[in-house]
Amino acid sequence: MLIEFFKIWHRRFLMGLEKYGKGDWRNISKKMVISRTPTQVASHAQKYYQSQDFRRQR
């Protein structure tokens, strides 16, 4: 159940990135993933982009 919640949260995070753009953590937090603060969204984004870079390097 927790994994499913995270998948939904991450999907909404990606939708927020598409709609508001990289760096607009306040709007993504306020309108897409209201259970997280802008700081938490920014932290998640940093980890997400690092994992994407790692995958591209392989």
Count Cβ atoms below 10 Å from residue 17 Cβ, excluding itself: 19
Domains of the chain in start order, with CATH, are 2-57 (1.10.10)
Count Cβ atoms below 10 Å from residue 27 Cβ, excluding itself: 15
Number of helices and strands in the chain (H, E): 3, 0
pLDDT of residue 58: 66
pLDDT digits (tens, 9 = 90+) for 7-31: 999 999 999 999 999 999 999 999 9
Percent of the chain at pLDDT > 90 equals 83
pLDDT digits (tens, 9 = 90+) for 40-55: 999 999 999 999 987 7
